[in-house]
């Protein structure tokens, strides 16, 4: 759907758009219980995933389905997701002071107690390992996968360099490995395509990665936006029960996001919405 792809924005060759974890990281999330516990420790909650499509195709989740007949459509839940974009060639820019992180945004989400999902590139976790660990060990957050270096998984995709089909699964696994190396533990097996770009061949090629792809139904328009109110207005106008909102966690390319969230969160709570992580949105 074309509408699903507009979250990408291009500036200076960089694209922002709409972070997941394999079974081994879930295993890591299980802290070993102390030896003397009388009852067995509760099993770690496994994040829900969607069943693969035909021929193992990677499934795609966009929002909690509405009208499922169980009354869930009316539940006012919404998932805010934040993409932590960074490409391999942006290392020198980071070294010269450009900030691809946004710790103020993360601090705000903590202050407001907003559970959220960060779709992180492996490259971002390598650049900001302390932040990746802090986010990935805070139960308020979950880290999902946004590829290693924000290359396109189908073309055209905003002029992004392209990952070859044979290298797609490896690219996703490389990002998961970067999260593990940083010490992140609450990592979920979800993947967001850079630029939101994918096609049927991509879904087939990515099948071995065993991830659920996560798109969105609400585009915040925060990429390169400077008017926080416009971003907030767009989100507030677009959210419906079960919505999934795409935003960014990279100050240099999405400078208005924190200010927009400052408005979005109280206004949605006023309307009766509860914020959930993607894993909770996907449940049921
Ligand atoms: Zn992105």
C-alpha 131 to ligand 1 mean position (Å): 18
pLDDT in tens, 160-200: 999 999 999 999 999 999 999 999 999 999 999 999 999 99
Answer whether residue 135 is part of any domain: yes
Contacts of 227 (CB under 8 A, 6+ apart): 256
C-alpha 68 to ligand 1 mean position (Å): 30
Answer whether residue 261 is part of any domain: yes
Average pLDDT over residues 29-42: 51
C-alpha 43 to ligand 1 mean position (Å): 33
Spatial contact of 161 and 151, defined as CB atoms under 8 Å apart: yes
Rounded-to-integer distance, Cα 173 and Cα 211, Å? 10
State the CB neighbour count (10 A cutoff) for residue 99.
Answer: 14
Number of domains in the chain: 1
pLDDT in tens, 218-244: 999 999 999 999 999 999 999 999 999
Answer whether residue 108 is part of any domain: yes
Answer whether residue 240 is part of any domain: yes
C-alpha 120 to ligand 1 mean position (Å): 8
Rounded-to-integer distance, Cα 91 and Cα 123, Å? 9
User: Which range among 16-30, 58-72, 118-132 shows the weakest confidence by mean pLDDT?
Assistant: 16-30
Which pLDDT score, from 0 to 100, does residue 39 have? 62
Nearest to 238 by CA among 63, 16, 8: 63
Place of tokens 């967001």: 192
Rounded-to-integer distance, Cα 9 and Cα 225, Å? 10
C-alpha 140 to ligand 1 mean position (Å): 21
Answer whether residue 124 is part of any domain: yes
pLDDT of residue 13 exceeding 70: no
Give the model's confidence band at 201: pLDDT under 50 very low, under 70 low, under 90 confident, else very high: very high
Rounded-to-integer distance, Cα 93 and Cα 160, Å? 18
Query: What would the DSSP string read from start to end of 134-146?
Result: HHTT-TTEEEEE-
| 3-state secondary structure at position 219 | strand
Answer whether residue 139 is part of any domain: yes
Give the model's confidence band at 126: pLDDT under 50 very low, under 70 low, under 90 confident, else very high: very high
What pTM value is reported for the model? Answer: 0.85
Answer whether residue 23 is part of any domain: no
- Domain span at residue 213 reads 73-282
Residues of the chain above pLDDT 70, percent: 82
C-alpha 279 to ligand 1 mean position (Å): 19
Spatial contact of 77 and 273, defined as CB atoms under 8 Å apart: yes
Largest CA distance in the chain: 59
C-alpha 86 to ligand 1 mean position (Å): 8
C-alpha 177 to ligand 1 mean position (Å): 18
C-alpha 150 to ligand 1 mean position (Å): 6
What is the pairing mode between strands 9-11 and 14-16? antiparallel
Query: What would the DSSP string read from start to end of 156-216?
Result: SSTT--B--GGGHHHHHHHHHHHHHHHT---EEEEE--GGG---HHHHHHTGGG--EEE--
Kindly report the CATH number assigned to the domain that includes residue 102.
3.20.20.370
State the CB neighbour count (10 A cutoff) for residue 1.
Answer: 8
Tokens for 221, please give them: 């328009």
Answer whether residue 55 is part of any domain: no
pLDDT in tens, 96-108: 899 999 999 999 9
Which pLDDT score, from 0 to 100, does residue 66 have? 78
């Amino acid at each position: 759907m074309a509408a699903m792809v507009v979250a990408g924005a291009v500036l200076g060759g960089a694209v922002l758009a709409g972070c997941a974890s394999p079974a081994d990281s879930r295993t890591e999330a299980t802290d070993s219980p102390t030896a003397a516990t009388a009852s067995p420790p509760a099993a770690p909650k496994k994040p829900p995933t969607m069943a693969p499509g035909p021929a193992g195709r990677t499934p795609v989740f966009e929002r909690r389905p509405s009208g499922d007949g169980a009354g869930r459509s009316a539940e006012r839940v919404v998932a805010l997701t934040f993409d932590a974009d960074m490409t391999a060639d942006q290392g020198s820019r980071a070294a010269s002071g450009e900030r691809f992180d946004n710790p103020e945004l993360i601090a705000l989400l903590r202050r407001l107690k907003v559970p959220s999902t960060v779709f992180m590139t492996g490259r971002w976790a390598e650049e900001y390992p302390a932040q990746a660990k802090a986010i990935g060990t805070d139960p308020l957050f979950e880290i999902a996968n946004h590829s290693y270096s924000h290359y396109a998984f189908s073309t055209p995709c905003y002029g992004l360099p392209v990952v070859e089909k044979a290298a797609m699964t490896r690219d996703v696994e490389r990002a998961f490995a970067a999260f593990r190396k940083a010490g992140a533990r609450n990592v979920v097996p979800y993947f967001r395509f850079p630029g939101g770009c994918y096609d049927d061949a991509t879904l087939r090629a990515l099948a071995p990665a065993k991830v659920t792809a996560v798109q969105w139904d609400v585009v915040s328009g925060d990429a390169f936006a400077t008017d926080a109110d416009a971003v907030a207005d767009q989100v507030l106008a677009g959210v419906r029960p079960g919505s999934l909102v795409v935003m960014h966690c990279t100050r240099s390319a999405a400078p208005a996001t924190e200010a927009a969230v400052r408005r979005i969160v109280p206004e949605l709570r006023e309307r009766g919405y509860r914020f959930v992580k993607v894993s909770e949105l996907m449940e049921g």
